[in-house]
Amino acid sequence: SQQGEEDPQALSIQEGENATMNCSYKTSINNLQWYRQNSGRGLVHLILIRSNEREKHSGRLRVTLDTSKKSSSLLITASRAADTASYFCAIERGAQKLVFGQGTRLTINP
């Protein structure tokens, strides 16, 4: 069973706008990771945030983590058409295996 839940399930915005996706989970974690998946392709690692971190940046990506609320958010600023993809959060609780959510389908309209 999947323990991460993304919200919303689908998001459609105009190019240039910011996109925010949320992830909630139920257990304690070592770290939380965000991945992107383009249609018909494998997953690409975007960013990892550890349980003792609250915020992390990578280019146009900003990830926050609130362990008290068991939630994380991924913000993509100044979205581009190439950002159209599915985005998954994955929690790592130990023993290395990742538990993924169902994903958010992001569509950037030109």
How many Å separate Cα 90 from the centre of its chain? Answer: 8
3-class secondary structure for the chain?
CCCCEEECCEEEEECCCCEEEEEECCCCCCEEEEEEECCCCCEEEEEEEECCCCEEEECCEEEEEECCCCEEEEEECCCCHHHCEEEEEEEECCCCCEEECCCEEEEEEC
Position 41 contacts other proteins (CB under 8 A): yes
Q: Based on the shown chain and the rule CB under 8 A, indicate whether residue 59 belongs to the binding site for other proteins.
A: no
Q: Tell me whether residue 15 or residue 51 sits nearer to other proteins (CB atom).
A: 51
- Give yes or no for residue 2 binding other proteins (CB under 8 A): yes
Cβ-based nearer residue to other proteins, 43 or 74? 43
Least separation, in Å, of the C-beta of 16 and other proteins? 28
Q: Is the CB of 70 or the CB of 78 nearer to other proteins?
A: 70
Q: Which residues bind other proteins (CB under 8 A)?
A: 2, 4, 31, 33, 35, 41-45, 48, 88, 90, 92, 95-103
